[in-house]
Amino acid sequence: MPAVPRPCRWRDPLAAYLDPSSGRTWPIETPRWCGDEGQPLLLTDLPGIGRDAIDPAAPGLWRYAAALPFRPREPITMGEGRTPLLPRRLGGVDALLKCEWLMPTGSFKDRGAAVMLSLLRDQGVSAVLEDSSGNGGAAISTYAAAGGMRARILVPDSTSPAKTVQSRAAGAEIQLTPGSRQDCAEEALRQGRDPASGFFYASHNWHPFFLQGTKTLAYELWEDLGFEAPDAVVIPCGAGSNVLGCDIGFGELRRAGAIVRLPRLYAAQPAHCGPLARAVLGLPPEPPRPTIAEGTAIAEPIRPREVLAAIRRSGGGAVLLEEAEIAEASLALARTGIYVEPTCAQAAAALGKLAAAGAVRPGERVAVVLTGTGLKATPRYAELLGLDAA
Amino acid sequence: MPAVPRPCRWRDPLAAYLDPSSGRTWPIETPRWCGDEGQPLLLTDLPGIGRDAIDPAAPGLWRYAAALPFRPREPITMGEGRTPLLPRRLGGVDALLKCEWLMPTGSFKDRGAAVMLSLLRDQGVSAVLEDSSGNGGAAISTYAAAGGMRARILVPDSTSPAKTVQSRAAGAEIQLTPGSRQDCAEEALRQGRDPASGFFYASHNWHPFFLQGTKTLAYELWEDLGFEAPDAVVIPCGAGSNVLGCDIGFGELRRAGAIVRLPRLYAAQPAHCGPLARAVLGLPPEPPRPTIAEGTAIAEPIRPREVLAAIRRSGGGAVLLEEAEIAEASLALARTGIYVEPTCAQAAAALGKLAAAGAVRPGERVAVVLTGTGLKATPRYAELLGLDAA
């Protein structure tokens, strides 16, 4: 007997997949991760929610479930979200540190993974494919395990076994692919497009549902601040999923009449690999170099136009950080008890530079998004501390 | 000009340090970590609080601050507490997993460290001493950093540098001491007793304020379950700070009339090093052997009598786990998305054995306390998975 399609409880009948270049849409009932020409998709604008629609009894970020395009009958949740917002004075500037590293798998990617896999499972997907040896792969593997879904994670065959332990422990199939990180991404696209692979491409970079998870960061900052938007948000930026998440979330809040003005979004990128920041700053492209901010070392992000538009629309900007600045900010944060990946410590370094340049002014409420736990960067900290921790 | 002593806002004028053997008390105004004969102390019984005394606006465990012996004027907080309680079916038994690993430094010790250092700072202590290369050292180092206090951590000189990276990054002074773990503990006691050392011995094992932090676990479980006590709590047990925390916290809740009955407390210990469990089970002592549950490998806990009394008073018991059982439970949890140290996975293994023995019955609400993140046990998981992750 064929499986009976399970009806979804829709919130907004107009929610649809959207190709932002052409404006073309596709119905949201069917699983879909790209357009018919293989292009990346977003969703159509959703109306957003005000404080009355928050569900105070729901765990973590699921209190904002009414803001999702549809509600999964049974969310896959491990308590992700409702991360601390800690005040710290850093380099003479008052910051509000949003501790997105305090998540079940140790990074902000849990917001996206929890929401994306919950929605996909509701659509009938039971096996997911991802390419990432980092936080993305760990989050997808873990939430797939929590949701009783199969996961296959593609990583370059040069990846050290230590990097995939967390995903393997969750029971994910780790597929070592020959060649570079780019070759690995292309193999993932190939398998994702091949119905015979049996796996749905649930990429943290590609799937628009992932951004439906990261947008809850905006709702949370708004609630953290007594239902007001911050003046600015400083965000470590690789592919830009937190920039886009904030743009979508704060955009919805404005649409819902819950805030008047968008916060200014500032993207922090390493000077060694900062294509989006360079574009914002009007600098010519440069070949990437290795950086300790490895989580943001994305030479070719897949939604550059949307990320740039989001930053400009907000009145924000971008900052490029040198390696020494990132290292210094990592240790400075750790010395206040905040042990995070250097990848995200660059956002703290960026705040200092924005303040020095007058882009962020005294008395403003500025959130600094810290995305990954330092427990995943112990060898890096050992280096920074001059230890031989082999 | 001498520093003016800052008055504390007392909640209970009868709170005092207590020697449980002799019943002797000492006033709580002065910092003190042991009795006059060097014996470990507890506090006198406190009256406990009901739901009306919870402060819903306070971050994390500070919502229960009214239950502390006194309230620090400014808590040192990084958002610790309010950890997820996740339902899972494990080995045919329904469990409620209390995710104490989802804490700022990656372990349950943050409850104790946050409360102990907040109270000590309020008493005027500004430099603290601890002996631990594990979760205790990381928690004390981190909360000292967050609170602007100096920290010195003693570890055996054989400790691998990787184990102290988190504490060093927080700016703690790591003092390598010659000899064994026991020699290290004795050197800490020596420095702690020497006023000239300049450091106050803020030991997670010794100081009774630490248990004032771990007791908030009981308050939280009670609130998680709609202001009812669970039927039983299964606890990984080394020195017993979570057993004692639950005993103190649930005892206060009963004293306050918020619950009628204490939950049964079950201590899980490795068969290779389980002195407390052996005593509960009436087994003769055995020399310790190495175990993968290294966080609970405490051959000589300092409060054995109180831990045994707490377990007996609750009507609970103890379980000894073989190495293979601990390994199997670690992987079984990871395959549901719960990535924790094998040290605490033994509590999940214990639940299965308790159910098989009929000590835990179907339909009972049983909390399993998971105390440390798997991100600190990556090499151990690599071994369990048969990977060469050097």
Domain presence at residue A18: no
Q: Are residues A295 and A183 in the same domain?
A: no
Do B298 and B380 lie in one domain? The reply is: yes
Residues of A in contact with B159 (CB under 8 A): none
Are residues B354 and B324 located together in one domain of the fold?
yes
Residue B337, CA distances (Å) to A83, A363, B93, B330 in order: 19, 42, 17, 11
Q: For residues B299 and B229, is the Cβ–Cβ distance under 8 A?
A: no
Compute the nearest-CA separation of A163 from chain B (Å).
8
- Residues B97 and B178 reside in one and the same domain: no
Contact list, A102 vs chain B (CB under 8 Å):
79, 102-104
What is the block-wise mean pLDDT of chain A (390 residues), using blocks of 10 residues? 45 88 95 96 97 96 96 96 95 93 98 98 97 94 98 93 94 94 92 95 97 98 98 97 98 98 98 97 96 89 97 98 98 97 96 96 97 95 84
In a shared domain, residues B191 and B215: no
Do residue A335 and residue B165 have CB atoms under 8 angstroms apart?
A: no
- A299 near B CB under 8 A: no
The pLDDT value recorded for residue A4 is 43
A386 close contact with B: CB closer than 8 A: no
- Is residue B20 assigned to a domain? no
CB A340 within 8 A of CB A103: no
> Do B95 and B230 fall within a single domain?
yes
The 10 Å Cβ neighbour count of residue A322 is 14
Of B145, B373, B388, the CB nearest to A335: B145
Cβ atoms B389, A165 nearer than 8 A: yes
Nearest CB neighbour to B145, from listed A78, A337, A385: A337
Residue B40 is assigned to a structural domain of this protein: no
Same domain as A261, residue A231: yes
**The CATH number of the domain where B298 resides is what?**
3.40.50.1100
Give B334's contacts in chain A (Cβ within 8 Å): 145, 169-171
Specify the pairing of strand B150-156 against strand B127-131: parallel
Query: Amino acid letter at A317?
Result: G
Residues A188 and A221 in one domain: no
**B80 found inside a domain:** no
Which pLDDT score, from 0 to 100, does residue B9 have? 53
- Chain segment A272-322, per-residue pLDDT in tens: 999 999 999 999 999 999 999 988 888 899 999 999 999 999 999 999 999
Best mutation target among A74, A80, A168, A330 (most B Cβ atoms within 10 Å) is A168
Do A184 and A232 fall within a single domain?
no
- Which residues 138-177 of chain B have a CB within 8 Å of chain A? 142-143, 145-146, 160-162, 165-166, 168-171
- Domain-located, residue A229: yes
Q: Which residues of chain B have pLDDT under 70?
A: 1-11, 389-390
Of A168, A334, A385, the CB nearest to B385: A168
Q: Does a structural domain hold residue B22?
A: no
* Same-domain check for residues B142 and B171: yes
Would you say residue A253 lies in a domain?
Answer: yes
On chain B, the residues whose CB falls within 8 A of the CB of A103 are: 102
Written as one string, the DSSP assignment of A123-176 is: TT--EEEEE-SSHHHHHHHHHHHHTT-EEEEEEETTS-GGGGHHHHHTTPEEEE
Domain span holding position A163 = 126-201
- Rounded to whole angstroms, the Cα distance separating A345 from B60 reads 24
Q: Which among B201, B234, B255 is the end of a domain? A: B201
In A90-119, the residues whose Cβ lies within 8 Å of chain B are: 99, 102-106
Domain count, chain A: 2
With an 8 Å Cβ cutoff, is A373 touching chain B?
Answer: yes
- Whether B352 is covered by a domain: the verdict is yes
Exposure class string for B252-278: b at 16+ Cβ within 10 A, else e: bbeebebbeebbbbbbbbbbbbbbbbb
ipTM: 0.95
CB atoms within 10 A of CB A74: 10
Bridge-based pairing of strands A317-321 and A264-270 is parallel
Nearest to B165 among A84, A104, A387 (CB): A387
Q: Does residue A258 sit in the same domain as residue A341?
A: yes
**pLDDT (0 to 100) of residue B53:** 97
Of A104, A336, A385, which has the smallest distance from its Cβ to B168's Cβ?
A: A385
Q: Looking at A201, A224, A239, which one is the last position of a domain?
A: A201
| Boundary (domain end) residue, out of B201, B226, B248 | B201
Report whether A62 contacts A55 (CB < 8 A). Answer: yes
Render pLDDT for A31-55 as a digit per residue (tens, 0 to 9): 999 999 999 999 999 999 999 999 9
A334 contact B CB<8A: yes
CA distance B32 to B120: 9
Closest residue, chain B, to A149 (C-alpha): B336
pLDDT tens-digit profile of B299-351? 899 999 999 999 999 999 999 999 999 999 999 999 999 999 999 999 999 99
Q: What is the pLDDT of residue B169?
A: 98
pLDDT 10s digits, B263-289: 999 999 999 999 999 999 999 999 999
What lies within 8 Å, CB to CB, of A222 at 6+ separation is: A228, A229, A249, A250, A253, A258, A259
Query: CA B286, CA B267: separation in Å to the nearest integer?
Result: 18
Query: What local confidence, expressed as pLDDT, does residue B58 receive?
Result: 96
Tell whether B9 is within 8 A of chain A (Cβ). Answer: no
Using a CB-CB distance cutoff of 8 angstroms, which residues of chain B are in contact with residue A379?
162
- Looking at the fold, whether A327 and A358 belong to one and the same domain comes out as yes
Are the Cβ atoms of B374 and A166 closer than 8 angstroms? yes
- B164–chain A nearest CA distance, Å: 9
